[in-house]
């Protein structure tokens, strides 16, 4: 239980820091957000709890492939916001398309027998 609380606190602090940095300097906030800090922490937590290298390797590989369908979301958000669309509608559209891209990616991966 203690490790769960520590994980939650560290994750929350990271999100707060990134949002504050992003508010003051969008480029620097984006740089920090683009770092795979959460994945690195997840790998550390997995190692501390199980010490199972195969699970961590599977996690790392799946994370790589599943990051790809999230990338268009950022371009969709930027384009729609610059076109003066409502932020909530923009987020809904970008989430919808991200889900669609996830489904496509997972279908392609299963077609080629990649394990997720």
Sequence-ordered list of residues with C-beta below 8 angstroms from that of 64, at least 6 positions apart, any chain: none
- At 42-79, the pLDDT tens digits run 899 899 989 999 999 999 998 999 999 999 999 999 99
Give the start-to-end residue ranges of the domains of the chain: 53-116
Contacts of 104 (CB under 8 A, 6+ apart): 69
* Confidence at residue 87, expressed as pLDDT on a 0 to 100 scale: 97
- Average pLDDT along the chain: 90
What mean pLDDT do residues 77-92 have? 98
What is the distance between the terminal CA atoms of the chain, rounded to a whole angstrom?
27
Question: Could you tell me how far CA 99 lies from the centroid of its own chain?
Answer: 13
What DSSP string describes 19-83?
A: HHHHHH-HHHHHHHHHS-HHHHHHHHHHHHHT--HHHHHHHHHHHHHHHGGGHHHHHHHHHHHHT
Whole-model pTM over 0.75:
no
Q: What is the mean pLDDT of residues 32-38?
A: 81
39-48, 73-82, 94-103: least confident range: 39-48
Quote the pLDDT of residue 12.
Answer: 87
């Amino acid at each position: 239980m203690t490790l769960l609380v520590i994980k939650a606190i560290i994750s929350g602090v990271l999100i707060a820091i990134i949002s504050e940095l992003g508010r003051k300097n969008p480029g620097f906030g984006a740089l920090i957000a683009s770092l795979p800090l959460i994945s690195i922490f997840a790998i550390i937590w997995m190692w501390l709890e199980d010490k199972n290298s195969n699970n961590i390797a599977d996690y790392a590989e799946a994370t790589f492939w599943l990051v790809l369908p999230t990338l268009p979301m950022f371009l969709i958000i930027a384009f729609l916001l610059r076109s003066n669309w409502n932020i909530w509608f923009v987020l809904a559209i970008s989430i919808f398309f991200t889900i669609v891209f996830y489904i496509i990616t997972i279908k392609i991966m299963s077609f080629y027998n990649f394990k997720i």
